[in-house]
């Protein structure tokens, strides 16, 4: 009897764990890159020492764009300057951009200075990348004021496709 109860408890725990893991996994529309998951909150400090909380930014009626990148990523080298241009085209009161450096083996600060990448920088953001299921760079996530993921770059998406999606979400319609 004790073994049966123990087995039922273990099975119940496994089912709950499986259900919880599935609930945390964002579902994504492959065509649009739109996810319907609630974005996990995080708190971090930028390189310049400014504290940032994702939900605090969202609660200030700001959409947030997270760009996960590394100095060794050749696609990041193409995308980051385009993200900077996009940031200059949108209102800072409506959209906040953050460059989250991940899986690094070089100097991201020197890289940003060399290539004039003017974005708030969060160093050692590997844990945050894991929360968002980022497995490759560049990772791009757009989070709306309702805390829902509006867009997440799919592996293999070109810089052009990413920019088209971001512009559609962030720029006012003509």
pLDDT in tens, 20-76: 333 344 444 444 445 569 999 999 999 989 899 999 989 887 899 999 999 999 999
Q: Is 61 left (phi over 0), alpha (psi -120 to 50) or beta?
A: left
Q: What tens digit of pLDDT does each residue of 64-108 get?
A: 999 999 999 999 999 999 999 999 999 888 999 999 999 999 999
Whether 143 is covered by a domain: the verdict is yes
pTM across the whole model: 0.79
| Whether residue 15 has a cis bond before it, omega within 30° of 0 | no
Whether 84 is covered by a domain: the verdict is yes
The span from the CA of 64 to the CA of 86, in Å, is: 13
CATH for 41: 3.40.30.10
Whether 18 is covered by a domain: the verdict is no
Whether 165 is covered by a domain: the verdict is yes
Task: Give me the domain span that covers residue 128.
Answer: 28-170
CA 6 to chain centre: 40
């Amino acid at each position: 009897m004790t073994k049966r109860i123990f087995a039922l408890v273990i099975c119940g725990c496994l089912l709950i764990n499986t259900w919880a893991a599935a609930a945390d996994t964002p579902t994504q529309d492959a065509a649009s890159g739109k996810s319907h998951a609630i974005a996990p909150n995080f708190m971090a400090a930028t390189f310049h020492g400014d504290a940032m909380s994702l939900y605090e930014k969202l609660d200030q009626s700001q959409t947030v764009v997270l760009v996960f990148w590394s100095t060794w990523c050749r696609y990041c080298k193409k995308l980051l300057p385009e993200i900077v241009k996009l940031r200059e085209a949108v209102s800072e009161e409506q959209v906040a951009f953050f460059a989250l450096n991940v899986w690094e083996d070089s100097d991201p600060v020197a890289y940003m200075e060399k290539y004039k990448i003017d974005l708030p920088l969060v160093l050692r953001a590997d844990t945050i990348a894991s929360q968002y299921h980022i497995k490759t760079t560049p990772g791009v996530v757009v989070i709306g004021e309702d805390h829902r993921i509006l867009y997440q770059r799919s592996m293999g998406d070109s810089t052009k496709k990413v920019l088209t999606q971001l512009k559609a979400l962030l720029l006012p319609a003509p």
